[in-house]
Amino acid sequence: MAYLGKLGNYRNFGLLLIRLGLGIMFIYHGFPKLAGGEKTWIMVGSATKYVGITFWPAVWGFLAAVVETFGGFLLIIGWAFRPVCLLILINLIVASIMHLRTDGLMDASHAIEDAIMFAGLLFVGPGSYSADKK
């Protein structure tokens, strides 16, 4: 399988694929929350009660929707990559805890898996094909 060994030469392309895929999906899931208005923001933001935050659910829901929607766009272009990964990671930790406490591990697994991915991306960075390229 020597041909698979050469894929390491395309690390930056792999990171671009990850950023594109995750960014598109976060926009897809975040925009309806953002466009849903105050009723949706309260519903989304009420998840913070599972981490002990019981005030301003509309504000937290709005912020979560903004992070998902605009964070998804920033992931795609690779700008402010690590701060965006951190914000999405925080969002996913809250979602994971909420799902674990209400629905169990099976329903929480997707948020947990994404949280692990974003925790790893914090260390790896956006790659060369990004606005943050150094």
| Residue with more model confidence, 32 or 132 | 32
The tokens for 118 are: 């974003």
- The answer to whether residue 64 scores a pLDDT higher than 70 is yes
- Phi and psi for 9 in degrees, rounded to 5? -70, -15
- Residue 42 identity: I
Can you give the residue ranges of every domain in the chain? Answer: 13-124
The pLDDT value given to residue 7: 86
Mean local confidence (pLDDT), 46-71 = 97
- What's the pLDDT tens digit per position in 83-102? 999 999 999 999 999 999 99
Per-residue DSSP letters for 56-109? -HHHHHHHHHHHHHHHHHHHHHTSSHHHHHHHHHHHHHHHHHHHHHHT-HHHHH
- What's the pLDDT tens digit per position in 95-125? 999 999 999 999 999 999 999 999 999 999 9
Share of the chain above pLDDT 70, in %: 99
Measure Cα distances from 3 to 9, 10, 11, 13, 126 in Å.
11, 12, 15, 17, 25
The pLDDT value given to residue 8: 85
Q: Do the Cβ atoms of 98 and 50 come closer than 8 Å?
A: yes
- The answer to whether residue 57 scores a pLDDT higher than 90 is yes
Residue 106 half-sphere exposure toward CB, CA atoms < 13 A: 1
pLDDT category of residue 134 using cuts at 50, 70 and 90: low
Residue with tokens 């998804």: 72
> What is the overall mean pLDDT for the chain?
96
